[in-house]
C-alpha cells in the first residue's frame, strides 16, 4: 500500500517522509550541504553518497571481478559487463542489447541504412523519432525555436534547451562516481563507461575495445596508416581532426582548460581530468594482482608488467629490453 501521493506527478509512496523528499525534485529545494565543497542535495542519502567522492569510499563491490564503486547504481550498471541478460548481440562491434528491436536500430549505424524518409525534402533518417523531430523544421514554414543568444534555429524545444547550454555553461548531469559534469545525458552515459569498464566497440583487426564508436574509427587508422589531417605549421599529420586541434596548441601555446581548485591550466581536457584526480583522490584503475590503484589506465598497464615480466621496449644498440619507453630513452 502506498497512500501518499504526489500532487504534481502522481507518484505514490509508502510513507510521508519519502513523499516529502520526492517533492523536492519539483521545487528544486536542496537542504543538505556538503561541508567539503559546498554542493547542495535534496536528501541526506544523496549527500552521504556524494561524500564518498571526497573520502574515496567505494563500499559496493562486484562479485565477479572485484571492482568497487561509490554507488549501488554504478555497480548495477557495471554488472551488465558480466551479465548474460543481453541476448541480442551485434556481430560488427560486440555491443549487446536486451531487445531485438534495439539491435536492429543499432545495426543501422554500421549499414548506413536510413529507412525513414521525410516527404517534404526527401532527407532520410535511421529511426522514426529523429524523423519526427526533423519534420518540425518544415512545420510553420521553418525552424520554430530560435536561440536568443546567437539566432540559431532549432527544430524542437528540447534541442533549443540543449543548445542554450553551450552559452550558459550549464551542466546539470553529474557523474555519481567523480566530479565530472555534462550538458547532455548522452555525454554522461558515455562518460560512465570509464567507471563501469564497458567498452562495446571492438576492433576486428586486433580486438582492442573502445567506449565510443569514433574512437574505434580513429584507432583503425593505426592499422591502415591513414593520417588525413595535416598541421599547416610543421607538416605533421594526424589520424583525427581532434588530434590535430590538440597538436596546434603546441604552436599557439593555448591552454584553455583550467582547474577550478588550483587554477592550473592545460592544453587538453583529458589532461585536466587526470589532474583533478590529484584533488579528489580518485584512483579508478585497480591491479587485480596486488590491489594497487592508479589514476590512469596506462599507468595500470605499465604496472602490470612488474607482475608479467613483460619488457616490450628494446634498445636497438645492445638488445636490452625495458618495461616502459621512458626508461628506454634514459638508457
Contact yes or no for 95/81 (Cβ under 8 A): no
Query: Judging by DSSP bridges, how do beta strands 209-210 and 257-258 pair with one another?
Result: unpaired
Contact yes or no for 73/188 (Cβ under 8 A): no
Q: CA 55, 268, 202 angle in degrees (round to 5)? A: 85
Q: Give pLDDT, residue 306.
A: 85
Q: How far is CA 296 from CA 215, 277, 283, 290, 323, in A?
A: 18, 9, 8, 17, 17
Around Cβ 69, how many Cβ atoms within 10 Å? 22
pTM of the entire predicted model: 0.36
Q: Give pLDDT, residue 110.
A: 77
Q: Give pLDDT, residue 115.
A: 83
Q: Sign of dihedral through CA atoms 31, 35, 40, 43?
A: negative
Q: Divide the 331 residues of the chain into consecutive groups of 10 and give the mean pLDDT of each group.
A: 77 81 71 76 76 74 80 72 68 71 80 80 80 68 68 75 83 83 84 83 80 82 79 85 84 86 84 81 80 81 85 86 84 88
Domains of the chain: 285-330 (3.30.160.60)
Q: How many CA atoms lie within 13 A of 198 on its CB side?
A: 22
Q: Give pLDDT, residue 121.
A: 79
Q: Give pLDDT, residue 245.
A: 86
β-strand partners of 293: 286
257: which 3 cell numbers?
582548460
Q: Give pLDDT, residue 61.
A: 84
Which candidate, 247, 202, 205, 198, places its Cα nearest to that of 222? 205
Q: Give pLDDT, residue 141.
A: 46
Amino acid at each position: 500500500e502506498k497512500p501518499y501521493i504526489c500532487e504534481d506527478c502522481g507518484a505514490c509512496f509508502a510513507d510521508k517522509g519519502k513523499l516529502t523528499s520526492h517533492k523536492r525534485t519539483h521545487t528544486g529545494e536542496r537542504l543538505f550541504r556538503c561541508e567539503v565543497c559546498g554542493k547542495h542535495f535534496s536528501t541526506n542519502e544523496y549527500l552521504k553518497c556524494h561524500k564518498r567522492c571526497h573520502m574515496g569510499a567505494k563500499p559496493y563491490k562486484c562479485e565477479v571481478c572485484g571492482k568497487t564503486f561509490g554507488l549501488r547504481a554504478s555497480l548495477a550498471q557495471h554488472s551488465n559487463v558480466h551479465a548474460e541478460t543481453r541476448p541480442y548481440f551485434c556481430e560488427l562491434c560486440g555491443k549487446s542489447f536486451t531487445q531485438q528491436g534495439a539491435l536492429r536500430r543499432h545495426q543501422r549505424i554500421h549499414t548506413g541504412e536510413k529507412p525513414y524518409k521525410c516527404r517534404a525534402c526527401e532527407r532520410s533518417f535511421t529511426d522514426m523519432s529523429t524523423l519526427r523531430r526533423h519534420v518540425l523544421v518544415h512545420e510553420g514554414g521553418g525552424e520554430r525555436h530560435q536561440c536568443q543568444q546567437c539566432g540559431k534555429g532549432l527544430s524542437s524545444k528540447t534541442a533549443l534547451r540543449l543548445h542554450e547550454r553551450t552559452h550558459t555553461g550549464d551542466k546539470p548531469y553529474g557523474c555519481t562516481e567523480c566530479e565530472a559534469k555534462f550538458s547532455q545525458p548522452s555525454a554522461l552515459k558515455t562518460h560512465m563507461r570509464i567507471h563501469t569498464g564497458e567498452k562495446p566497440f571492438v576492433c576486428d583487426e586486433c580486438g582492442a575495445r573502445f567506449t565510443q564508436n569514433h574512437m574505434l574509427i580513429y584507432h583503425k587508422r593505426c592499422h591502415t596508416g591513414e593520417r588525413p589531417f595535416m598541421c599547416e605549421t610543421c607538416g605533421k599529420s594526424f589520424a583525427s581532426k581532434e588530434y590535430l586541434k590538440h597538436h596546434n596548441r603546441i604552436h599557439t601555446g593555448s591552454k584553455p582548460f583550467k582547474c577550478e581548485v588550483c587554477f592550473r591550466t592545460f592544453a587538453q581536457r583529458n589532461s585536466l581530468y587526470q589532474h583533478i584526480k590529484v584533488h579528489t583522490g580518485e584512483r579508478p584503475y585497480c591491479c587485480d594482482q596486488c590491489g594497487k590503484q592508479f589514476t590512469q589506465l596506462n599507468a595500470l598497464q605499465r604496472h602490470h608488467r612488474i607482475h608479467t615480466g613483460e619488457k616490450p621496449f628494446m634498445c636497438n644498440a645492445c638488445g636490452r629490453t625495458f618495461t616502459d619507453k621512458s626508461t628506454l630513452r634514459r638508457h
